[in-house]
Structure 1
């Protein structure tokens, strides 16, 4: 496993713990299919959330919250469709797409970071 992937996994675990501390129930981590991966899938009350985690050591590479571009959003949406289909989750269940940005030691949770992209 590369150091980058290992480091990413550590920050995803940190983000999952952060979500749990804020009342979410983590259902899956690193859910994958051919289309891509979703870092964290959780329930926030009655809402199913799909969470992308981005880490930056500092602002030199830009704000981590801005790192989820349109291509990545579309990929996450495709994987979310597969997840809901394979888990038998109703299309009427409320869901949203969030981003957790970790900048150094600071964690920011952006709810509704983007809308569904079909």
Structure 2
């Protein structure tokens, strides 16, 4: 595994742990589809209704040129929405639940990143 992949995996583990500590339950990680990939899929059951959460984890060693969340352009959002649709097609029990797209913006060293969780960062129809 190269350094970039190893760093990415470490940041995704940190993001997943952060979200779990906040009450979300993991459903899947690194789910790839032709045309898109989902970093994390979580279930948010903190409110009365459960919500499927598709989480994009973005890491930048420095926020000097903008954080990771700023790098999610319209093309990336389309790929995430497509991947989420594919995921839901394969998981019939989740299809009728509301969904949202969150971003975990990570900065600093991969082994101890600073994490900023942005709930409902964008909508499928953005």
TM-score, length of structure 1 as denominator length: 0.92
Q: Which of 100, 104, 119 is matched with 1:96 structurally?
A: 100
> 2:70 maps to which residue?
66
Q: CA RMSD in A?
A: 1.5
Any unmatched runs of 5+ in structure 2? none
Any unmatched runs of 5+ in structure 1? none
> 1:87 maps to which residue?
91
CA offset digits 1:46-71 (Å, max 9, x no partner): 00000000111112231112111111
> 1:4 maps to which residue?
4
Count of equivalent residues: 118
The 8 Å contact of residues 36 and 75 in structure 1, kept in 2 or not, is answered as: yes
**Distance in 1, Cα, partners of 2:70 & 2:61:** 14
The 8 Å contact of residues 74 and 117 in structure 1, kept in 2 or not, is answered as: no
TM-score, length of structure 2 as denominator length: 0.87
